[in-house]
């Protein structure tokens, strides 16, 4: 769903995962966090504007790849990231349930995302 806020398009989207929902608005590129078609399908993202194919080549070139430092002891090192900042923006933007319930849920969601993103080859990043 798209809405206008001044002259800037604002995307509103919802992620429904394990019986919990997140909603956010974005006009600053957070959509790159969920970009591949299989990720969009798995996370039930209804707006095709979040697909990588809708990101301009110039914007694709600006996306960063890196590694994530594990948040939990049982998390592996070096999970591939498209844009580290986006994960933290997601945590900051959503009205969340109590942290004790939300953080494990977000970590599972994040693992699903990384699993989908890297399942063919762990060295292969989204932007090849």
For 80-107, how does the pLDDT look when each residue is reduced to its tens digit (9 = 90+)?
443 434 444 454 444 445 556 666 776 6
Q: Residue 104 has what pLDDT?
A: 72
Here the contacts of 101-106 (C-beta below 8 Å, separation 24 or greater) are 102/20, 103/71, 105/17, 105/18, 105/20
pTM above 0.85, yes or no: no
Q: Which residues contact 25 (CB under 8 A, 6 or more apart)?
A: 3, 5, 10, 11, 12, 93
- The reported pLDDT for the residue numbered 108 is 72
Q: pLDDT by residue (tens digit) across 60-83?
A: 555 444 444 445 555 455 444 434
Domain layout of the chain by residue ranges? 2-118
Tokens encoding 41: 């399908």
Please answer whether residues 83 and 9 qualify as being in contact, where contact means their C-beta atoms are separated by less than 8 angstroms: no
């Amino acid at each position: 769903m798209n809405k206008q806020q001044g002259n800037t398009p604002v995307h509103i989207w919802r992620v429904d995962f394990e019986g919990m929902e997140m909603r956010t608005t974005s006009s600053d590129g957070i959509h790159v966090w969920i970009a591949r078609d299989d990720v969009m399908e798995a996370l039930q993202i209804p707006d095709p504007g979040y697909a990588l194919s809708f990101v301009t080549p110039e914007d694709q070139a600006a996306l960063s790849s890196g590694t994530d430092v594990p948040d939990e002891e049982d998390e592996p090192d070096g999970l591939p990231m498209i844009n580290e900042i986006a994960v933290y923006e997601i945590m900051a933007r959503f009205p969340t349930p109590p942290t004790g319930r939300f953080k494990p849920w977000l970590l599972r969601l994040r693992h699903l995302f990384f699993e989908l993103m890297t399942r063919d080859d762990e060295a292969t990043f989204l932007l090849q």
